[in-house]
Amino acid sequence: MTVNPLYDSLFDLHAGKETPFLILDSGKVISHRAFLAMAARFAGHLTKLGLSPGDRVAAQVHKSPDALALYAACVQAGLVFLPLNPAYTHGELGYFLENSGAALLVCDGAEAAALRPLAERMNTQLATLNADGSGSLSDGASVCPDTFATVARQGGDLAALLYTSGTTGRSKGAMLTQDNLISNARTLVDHWRFEANDVLLHALPIFHTHGLFVATNVTLMAGGAMIFLPRLDIDRLIDLMPRATVLMGVPTFYTRLLDDPRFTRDLAGHMRLFISGSAPLLADTHRQFETRTGHRILERYGMTETNMNTSNPYDGERRAGTVGFPLPGVTLKVTDPDSGEQLPQGEIGQIEVRGPNVFKGYWEMPDKTAAELRADGFFITGDLGRIDADGYVHIVGRNKDLIISGGYNIYPKEIEMLLDEQPGVLESAVIGVPHPDLGETVLGLIVPAPGASPDLDAIMAAAQVDLARFKHPRKLLIVDALPRNTMGKVQKNLLRDQLSETFTTP
Ligand code: MLC
Ligand code: AMP
């Protein structure tokens, strides 16, 4: 009898199996059975800490097998997993704790002393989990049994809360249900032909949809294994590729591989599949990759709020510069941003999606939910696209003011608010400009207050205190004024056009 559909679909099916699940760089192999035992011990300890089903568990920890077992433990104990980028500053973390009302924060031991006052203020328990698996969470778990009575859940119950940056500068918690995750994993296993003998080269972070759900859930559901690397390290990727069958990455993975002469047709020859997503893969990268390896990268398109929406076909033509077709069960339409009416095929408009993959709404933000999730179930993605005559979806831009740097989303508003507060600044605009490695990167434009000469170094230093490193402007420039349209809105497209070569020319 199904008591916890997500636990049953991803984890319980491996009970007692000694098959490899995580293959670590050290050579250590963690079997499916051993992984479930780790998760069960964590689940036992989380319950002893007094957490009850539906409570949020925030985890700002480094990537490790234990961090992944904490995700499984939350599923088993009916808790809502809330993974956070370790790069977030304490200020950013405070917001997530407050907004989510997390019952527990799991952090790296090195951060515990600094975070304790914040956790106390938020009435959040604190536990530690270090990259090597040690810490108070593991200490507590070590005396718990290897088995745990799985807590009953229903498909519509929350499994995870993933924060995604908001247009107003404040992040929104996307509520993902058990059914959202199960349906998407099932579709992708089938669509991408995952099997138990697949070995996925996993070098993505596990605090985002891509590394946590797409890569991990799909591998688990198929009963396969992952070579689990702490981060992208091209040397290790190249060394370990002969043992893998599939690679998933953001476009930076593929441009960095192509930059390396050791990445040859021979090295890639045995691979079954290369998948790219989270940011646009240049058609040129797609072609270069095919010329070098003979493989056509399979590009797909997704979001935190929806998991995966479209994918190029496994067997049919993987068309460069497109994100393929809507996945089975997903309805995608292109609409007029003003009227919301569906546009004729071929025309550019906003992309809307509906399906079992689409989230339940933003945590305690009914207005934002209502603004983006229509009553008929269509989610307004904020991406602009078109469907070509053959049905392939093309993403042509964004209706939302978003920068995607190396697969991380950055909302300009959050940075602009900080720049505007600095001495001598009248106003600012933050834009994304092309970057050869990260796809896009952050450029800050500052208009000085009358008679002032803002100190750009001091402004950069201020941004560094408050914002995670990946959000820091790579450059600040002084400009006389910002171009505005007749409505007074800053014309960022003009700025992007004027400054598009800031990082691409030597
Ligand atoms: C790291 N840095 C970044 C950065 N990553 N800066 C901007 N953008 C990024 N993405 C900073 C570091 O803090 C460091 O700062 C410097 O850049 C170089 O760091 P690095 O260690 O060399 O970076 P690296 O580890 O190589 O990371 C780059 C990367 C990584 C692209 C491999 O960012 C990554 O794994 N990105 C994947 C993100 C992801 O999973 N997105 C999926 C979202 S889900 P300094 O100066 O201090 O040295 C989603 C839905 C979907 O979008 O469809 O999948
Ligand atoms: P996130 O909010 O981090 O989940 O990022 C989702 C956004 O990433 C989408 O709305 C798109 O703008 C972008 N994205 C994801 N996959 C692709 C892709 N294959 N091509 C272009 N953009 C993508």
Q: What is the pLDDT of residues 195-208, one digit of tens each?
A: 999 999 999 999 99
- State pLDDT tens for residues 35-74: 999 999 999 999 999 999 999 999 999 999 999 999 999 9
Is residue 408 within 6 Å of ligand 1 at its C-beta? yes
323-350 mean pLDDT: 97
User: Does the structure show a pLDDT above 60 at 417?
Assistant: yes
| pLDDT for 257 | 98
Is residue 469 within 6 Å of ligand 1 at its C-beta? yes
* Shortest-distance ligand to the CA of residue 235: 1
How much distance in Å is there from the Cα of 393 to the middle of ligand 2? 13
Q: How many CA atoms lie within 13 A of 450 on its CB side?
A: 0
- State pLDDT tens for residues 200-246: 999 999 999 999 999 999 999 999 999 999 999 999 999 999 999 99
Name the percent of the chain lying above pLDDT 90.
Answer: 94
Domain formed by 5-20+29-186, architecture: 3-Layer(aba) Sandwich (3.40)
How much distance in Å is there from the Cα of 46 to the middle of ligand 1? 31
Indicate the residue type of 197: N
Range in 197-201, 362-366, 409-413 the model is least confident about: 409-413
* Shortest-distance ligand to the CA of residue 172: 2
Residue with the smallest CA separation from ligand 2 atom 15 is: 278
User: Is 418:462 a contact under the CB 8 Å cutoff?
Assistant: yes
278-305 mean pLDDT: 97
How much distance in Å is there from the Cα of 232 to the middle of ligand 1? 9
How much distance in Å is there from the Cα of 175 to the middle of ligand 2? 18
Instruction: Classify domain 403-499 at the CATH topology level.
Output: GMP Synthetase; Chain A, domain 3 (3.30.300)
Give the span between the Cα atoms of 72 and 74, in whole angstroms.
5
How much distance in Å is there from the Cα of 405 to the middle of ligand 1? 7
Is residue 250 within 6 Å of ligand 1 at its C-beta? yes
109-126 mean pLDDT: 97
User: Does the structure show a pLDDT above 70 at 369?
Assistant: yes
Name the percent of the chain lying above pLDDT 70.
Answer: 99
User: Does the structure show a pLDDT above 90 at 489?
Assistant: no
The encoded tokens of residue 399 equal: 């209706």
How much distance in Å is there from the Cα of 470 to the middle of ligand 1? 7
User: Is 212:188 a contact under the CB 8 Å cutoff?
Assistant: no
User: Does the structure show a pLDDT above 90 at 487?
Assistant: no
| pLDDT for 167 | 56
* Beta sheet of 125-128, edge-to-edge order: 125-128, 104-107, 56-60, 80-83, 158-164, 172-177
Confidence of residue 15 (pLDDT cuts 50, 70, 90): very high
| pLDDT for 333 | 98
Confidence of residue 485 (pLDDT cuts 50, 70, 90): confident
Is residue 278 within 6 Å of ligand 1 at its C-beta? yes
Q: Which atom of ligand 2 is nearest to the CA of 409?
A: 3
| pLDDT for 155 | 98
3-state secondary structure at position 436:
coil
Is residue 252 within 6 Å of ligand 1 at its C-beta? yes
Could you tell me the residue ranges of all domains in the chain? 5-20+29-186, 232-398, 403-499
Is residue 472 within 6 Å of ligand 1 at its C-beta? no
Instruction: Classify domain 232-398 at the CATH topology level.
Output: Rossmann fold (3.40.50)
Q: How many CA atoms lie within 13 A of 171 on its CB side?
A: 24
| pLDDT for 486 | 82
Give the span between the Cα atoms of 369 and 367, in whole angstroms.
5
> What residues does ligand 2 touch, defined as CB less than 6 Å away?
164, 209, 277-280, 299, 301-304, 323, 381-383, 395, 398, 404, 409
User: Does the structure show a pLDDT above 80 at 506?
Assistant: no
Average pLDDT over the chain reads: 96
| pLDDT for 342 | 98
Is residue 231 within 6 Å of ligand 1 at its C-beta? yes
User: Does the structure show a pLDDT above 90 at 401?
Assistant: no
5-20+29-186 and 232-398 share one fold: yes
How much distance in Å is there from the Cα of 472 to the middle of ligand 1? 12
The encoded tokens of residue 254 equal: 């593929």
90-96 mean pLDDT: 95
* Shortest-distance ligand to the CA of residue 276: 2
The CA-to-CA distance between both ends of the chain, in Å, stands at 63
User: Does the structure show a pLDDT above 80 at 83?
Assistant: yes
Q: DSSP state, 94?
A: H
| pLDDT for 311 | 98
CA dist 492 → 84, 194, 247, 473, 498 (Å): 30, 42, 35, 16, 10
Angle between helices 109-121 and 90-100 (to 10 degrees): 50
How much distance in Å is there from the Cα of 382 to the middle of ligand 2? 10
Confidence of residue 505 (pLDDT cuts 50, 70, 90): confident
Q: What is the pTM of this model?
A: 0.96
User: Is 5:179 a contact under the CB 8 Å cutoff?
Assistant: yes
Is residue 473 within 6 Å of ligand 1 at its C-beta? no
Residues 6 or more apart whose Cβ sits within 8 Å of residue 390:
none
Q: Which atom of ligand 2 is nearest to the CA of 276?
A: 19
How much distance in Å is there from the Cα of 278 to the middle of ligand 2? 4
Confidence of residue 165 (pLDDT cuts 50, 70, 90): confident
| pLDDT for 504 | 83
User: Does the structure show a pLDDT above 70 at 1?
Assistant: no
**Which sign does the torsion angle of CA 108, 117, 163, 435 carry?**
negative
